[in-house]
Structure formats: structure tokens, C-alpha cells
Structure 1
Amino acid sequence: MTDASLSKSHCPTRVEFGRQVWTRVAEIVQENNWSKVLLLTDPGLKGSRLHRSLVSSLESLGIELEEFDGIDPEPTDKNVVSALRVSSALSPHALVVLGGGSAIDVAKAVAIVATNGGEISDYEGIDTFDVPPLPLIAIPTTAGTGSEVSGAAVITDTLRNSKMAIRHAHYGPATYAILDPEAISTTPQHVAIHSGIDAFVHAFESYLSKLANPFTDAQNLHAIRLISDNLRPYVANRENQDAAFNMLCASSMAAMSFGTTGTGNVHCMAMALGSKYPIPHGLANAVCLPHVAEFNFIATPQRFAILAATMGIDTRGLSTLDAGRKAITAIKELCDDLNVPPRLRDVGVEKKDLPEISEKCFLLNYNRWNPRWTTEKDFLTLLQKAY
């Protein structure tokens, strides 16, 4: 854990949550006197009941509304450029986004460039802009990325074939987050699995981070408890409103925390793999998670012991080491129950590319946050074990 004098906790997003809370969107627009709104939507949600209802509620206010849905599953700078064309023609007062992490990241990128100018690649890194973005209302339709409250947006730079992380703890998160279980009731099963594991990894890695603090610990442990109890039933039945609601809350809690603490080797490896292969981010996380958990265990066995108890494992009478190892077993069982592919080869990774990917991993410098120092050779060993 970092020195207490350097610890912090910050979430500028106003979070509203509950059933039918999506109806608040039109009220928020009206309260702020926003007369021109750009709506960004995941293409698969265009024409859905929730999309139609949202459009109708905004149009009933006489709002000048334009829509954009040209968003790839792994968002690119080209998606941002296309959305900015629509935004420039409208000059909106605010953005509304209905979608998963990809759509929300594109919306955040558009909001940044619309007020700061230039291209989204100009803002790669941490705190690289200082003009507030356009106001953004985010309605997540997956329970996983937590992009609605996180300070980060991840966009693929198609020229460099690499993923850019644009981070700003204050200006990065959406202005409003609308957490409604109805919005994730039609999530395809494979997306529910990948995004749910992604949320777990956010909480898991944030809890183990070198920068963890009492505030982030509280959020992360409760997120882990909620995910451990609700991810399986949510995947089994996305219309389980209680499980869906708890997954949405857990996802946002974890994202509020990792904006402060950073993540770790799971995300580092997923970022490097995603820049080489079209693997969904959550799936890459899921495949790497058990291997990284085993690697990081010796750095902080006490925290692993707490994780085991949080995940519902009876650790009474066990030593710290034995209790901590139970967390690794519980993680493997979670992945098995959700039919996560066990190996990188199962998701299309080729063995010949592992040295290049390990080099990328090391250069990403997640050693800032990961509890165990990891060399390029360590990354190669991890990738080979995962392969």
C-alpha cells in the first residue's frame, strides 16, 4: 500500500442507479438546458426497445438530436474521427451514450477532442488535456468495463496498431452514470462472461495494487463479493434483475478504484495481446487471470487470504499461505464455471509472437502498480504458461 500521505480517492461522476432510472436521462438534459444532443449507440442496440424509448423521451422535449453508431467492438481512432464529423456538424451541448465500454470510450474521446481540439492520439497518457470535455451521460449496457466512472478511455491507434490509454482522473469519467439493470438484460452470454470477468479483474488488481488504500479496499472488496455472488446467476439468466443490478454496481465500484490504484499484469498482458490480435479485452483478461494470480501470490499472500474469504471460501483454521492459495483455486473455478477458454492458443494467439508480446508488456510499465516486479523474461514465462 502506498504511503498514507499520498493516498487519494476521487470520483467526479454523479451515479444514479435502480430500475427504470434510464428515464432520468431526459430529465437531466432538461435540467441542464441542453437543447442539442449527440447520441452514440452500440450498433447492436440501434432499434432496441430501450434505444427507441430513449430517443422518444429526448425528442419529446424538442431536443435537436443526432445519432452515431459506427463503433467497432474494439474502438479505433477511425471511429472517433467519424463520430467527430457528426458532432462538429451538430455542435452539441452534451453527449449521451448507450452501450458497452467500447461505445463509452468513443464517446469520452469525442467529448475530449470536441473541446480540446486536435486528434485523440494527442491525448495519450495521463492528464494530457486541461479543458473540460463536453458533458456526457453514460448508460452502460454491459457490466464490466466501468468506463462510465473510470478516468480512462482505450482507443486503438490504427496507424501504430497499438492501444492508446487516455487517462484523466478528473476529466476522464462521464458526468453522469445511469446504472439500470434493464440496460444489460439483453447482453449476449459471451459478452456477459467477458465483461463480468473484466469487472472482477479490475477489483482484483486494484485491491492488490501498490497504490491501494482504505477507500479503494472497501470498494474493491465489496465489488469482489458482489461479483462472486452474482456473476454466475447473471450469466445464466441476464433477466435476473437483482443479479444484473449487483453486477452493474460492482463494475462501477471497481472502476472508481482502479482510476486511483491502476491495475496490474492481467490488464498489461491483455493490452499487449489486444494490440496484436482482435481478442476482446475481457476475454484476454479472463484467459490470463489465473496465471497472473499464481505469479502475484507470493508478493502479498495476506491480501490473497482476505480475497479468499471475500469470495465465500471458509478459511478458518488455515495459515495465511493456505488461505491465500484458496483464492487462486476460487478464481480458477469461476473461470471454469463460465467456460472461459483455458489457453491463449484457444483464442488464436500464435506461439511465435510471444517474445514480441512480452516485450510490449514490459514497456507498458504496469510495474508502477503490479504488486510483484515483473521483468520481460517473467512476462514471457507467464505467456508461455498461459499458452
Structure 2
Amino acid sequence: MSSTPYALLNPGRVIAGPGSIEQLTELAQGFFQARRVLIISDKGVAAAGLVNAPLQQLQAAGLQVSLIASTPPEPDVADVQAIEAEARAAGPFDLVVGIGGGSAMDVAKIIAVLLAHPLDLRELLSKKADITARGLPTVMVPTTSGTGSEATPNSIILVAEDELKVGIVSARLMPDAVILDARLTLTLPPAVTASTGMDALTHAIECYCSKKANPFSDLYALEAIRLIARSIRRAVHQGDDLQARADLLLGAYWGGVCIATSSTTAVHALAYPLGGKYRMPHGLSNAILLPSIMAFNQVGSEVRFAAMARAMALPVEGLSDGEAASAFVQALRDLNHDLGVPATLRSLNIQPADLEGLVDGAAKVTRLLDNNPRPLSRDDMRALYAALI
């Protein structure tokens, strides 16, 4: 539990429910009084037609709309700089809308700042510069139920030369509005639904365990765990189940709120090198690492782990906290198995020769390692990776 002051950061306005994407025009025109709108998305989302209706609705209302749908799955500095250059050439804009997964939303948030202020992306990433004022207004529209980027003050960008993802974190990146329309997630393939949903669950679990955990993050984390645990299997195996999709999307949002008020921990720290060097999808790396690192973290945190077991509706009544904590960790392993998540990194071609590089990369993510409830030495990290290779 945090022993220092804590804060609750939330987007200014959240609109949720099936069909809520239809309120984007009213938001843009009525609430933000925008005339020129930039939509940032990715090729997959655009190819699925998920940007068509909102783009056409904005245009029908008389707004000028530019679409940049080139965000890659793991955007690096060059990718973001190219999008910034394209946006500057097409601008100016009054509003930035991010439609897609975490990468598209992370890019949309930082582009909104870069378009409004004379800041250099590399200087922000190296901490040589700070975001001192809010950028253009932003609306985030997630099409996956995972990253929670729509609710966080974070923008995660790959620094290719360091083979590591780096987070730009500032309260001034918090979105101005969010639209949570589960209909936009109905066509998400099972494997992507599984990995992004496990990403969302990881956020809630880590934030509940974090040294920065507080009454705000506790409230949202336990609710996120409850919603995700009851819905993720149905969302993966019965993708047209709108109620399951809605629960998963809301759980992912609450997970993002947790990140904003608490923080993730060692799972994300050890996942970052897997994404940075091997371009492994972020949710997948988190899912594979989660059970092993939670088994490590349960020592000394049995009471909190028992609370998470109850939030997952596990049959732990009458068990000691330690027994409930172990049941919780086993439930995570069972969940991965049921969702088809690989049990090892070796199955994804991570080899023993990669071990030291992974440890070196993870050790640099002190921002998250310092939040872990149980300290990790390099030997601990090496053992956790090695057990999965």
C-alpha cells in the first residue's frame, strides 16, 4: 500500500455502451467545437472498416477529417516521427482521435502534444525534456480490450537502437474523452482477444500488488479482475457474445485507470525486452510471464492475493490466505491454458542464448521494478526467464 500521497486520474468524459461510437460527432463538434479532425489508426483497423462510420459521420457534419492509418503494432521513434510529419503536412487540427489498439492510441496521445508544442520526441524519451502543457484535445476509441491506453497518461514507444520500449508518462497525456463501444471489438480474432484480455488482467493484478497501490487503484483493480475473469473465456471462444465483450472492454478500461493511479510492476518490466528486441506482442509476453512472476510475488503478499482470488470467484472459502494465494496463481496458469496462450518463451523461439540480453533489458526498467512488491535481483530475473525458456 502506498505510503505517499496518491491521485486519481480519469479522462474528462467517458461514453460507453453499444452504439456509443455514434456520439463521436457530437463530442467533436459540440463539446470540443472542432472543425478539423485528425484520426490516427492502423492498417488492420482501417481494413476491418472500423474507421469508416466515424469518419463519414464527421464529414457529413461538415468537419474536415484527415486519416493516418499507418501505426504499426510496435511503433518506434521513426514511425512516430513519420506520422508527426504527415500530420503537420495535413494540418492544422483542432482535435485528435485515436481509433485502434494501444499502439494507435499511444501514438495519438503523443502526436496531439507534438502538434501543439515545439517538443522533440527523442528528448522526451530520454527525459531531457518534459511535457509542460496539454496538447490538442484527444478522444480515444479502443478497438481491443487490453492496453487500457484510453485511460492512461502513458505513451509507450520503441527505441529501436536500445531494443527497449520506453514510456513517456505525463498527466498532460490523459485523454479528454473516451468512447467504449464493445461492438468495435466483435470481430477481434480469438488469439488477439486472448492476449489483449490477458494484458488487461495483468494491469489490474499488478496495480493491486504494486507498492503504489492505494484505495483508488484497489477499487478499480478488483472490479477489473472480476469483470475480466467472468468474461474473457466467453469473449475468446464465443466472439459474438456482446455482453462478454462489453465486460472485457470495461475491465480493460478500469485496468487503465489503475495504471494511472498506481503502476504496473515486474511483469511489464520483464515483458519490455521481449517486445523491444523480438517484437513479441505486448499482451502475449505479459500473459506468458504473469503466472511465474505472480508465483514469485505471492510471498509476503498472501492477503492481497487471497483478495484477488475472491474477485476471480475462485472456490477459496475456508482456505488460508496462503492457500488462496496459491489457488490464484494456479488459476492464472489454467486461464492461459484455456485461452491457448503458450506456456513457454521457447515455443516463440526465445533461446537460452538470449537470456543475458533479456536480463540486461529488464534491469533498465527501474521505474516498474521499483514498484514490485518483492525485490528482484538480476539472479531472480534470470531464473524467471530461464524457467520459461
Fold match (TM-score > 0.5): yes
Aligned residue identity for 2:56:
S
Distance 2:159 2:12 in 1: 27
Structure 1 alignment gaps of length 5 or more: none
Seq. identity, %: 30
Structure 1 residue aligned with 2:220: 219
Aligned residue identity for 1:157:
V
Contact preservation (8 Å) 2:11, 2:178: no
- How far apart are 1:310 and its partner, in Å? 1.2
Structure 2 residue aligned with 1:284: 285
Describe how 1:1-387 pairs up with structure 2 within 5 A.
1-3=1-3, 6-31=5-30, 32-89=32-89, 90-124=91-125, 128-168=130-170, 170-365=171-366, 366-387=368-389
Aligned residue identity for 1:304:
F
Distance 1:68 1:7 in 2: 37
Distance 1:19 1:12 in 2: 19
- Structure 1 range deviating more: 5-14 or 349-358: 5-14
Distance 1:46 1:314 in 2: 43
Distance 1:139 1:114 in 2: 20
- CA gap of 1:47–1:347, structure 2 versus 1, over 3 A, is closer
Aligned residue identity for 1:45:
V
SS at match of 2:343: coil
SS at match of 1:50: coil
SS at match of 1:156: strand
- How far apart are 1:208 and its partner, in Å? 0.4
Distance 1:9 1:39 in 2: 28
Aligned residue identity for 1:150:
T
Distance 2:114 2:51 in 1: 25
Contact preservation (8 Å) 2:269, 2:369: no
* Structure 1 residues 304-344: Cα deviation after superposition (integer angstroms, max 9, x where no partner): 11111111112122111111111011111111100110001
Distance 2:264 2:300 in 1: 15
Aligned residue identity for 1:77:
V
Contact preservation (8 Å) 1:238, 1:244: yes
Distance 1:41 1:107 in 2: 8
- How far apart are 1:111 and its partner, in Å? 1.1
- Structure 1 range deviating more: 243-252 or 41-50: 41-50
- How far apart are 1:264 and its partner, in Å? 1.1
Distance 2:62 2:342 in 1: 49
- Structure 1 range deviating more: 236-245 or 192-201: 236-245
Distance 2:12 2:221 in 1: 18
Aligned residue identity for 2:159:
D
Provide TM-score, normalisation by structure 2. Answer: 0.96
Structure 2 alignment gaps of length 5 or more: none
- How far apart are 1:238 and its partner, in Å? 2.2
SS at match of 1:37: strand
SS at match of 1:131: coil
Cα RMSD, aligned residues only? 1.5
Distance 1:275 1:377 in 2: 21
Distance 1:47 1:274 in 2: 24
Distance 1:374 1:54 in 2: 46
Distance 1:99 1:50 in 2: 9
Provide TM-score, normalisation by structure 1. Answer: 0.96
- Aligned residue pairs: how many? 385
Contact preservation (8 Å) 1:79, 1:106: no
- How far apart are 1:47 and its partner, in Å? 4.9
- CA gap of 1:125–1:234, structure 2 versus 1, over 3 A, is farther
Runs ≥4 residues deviating over 4 A: none
SS at match of 1:39: strand
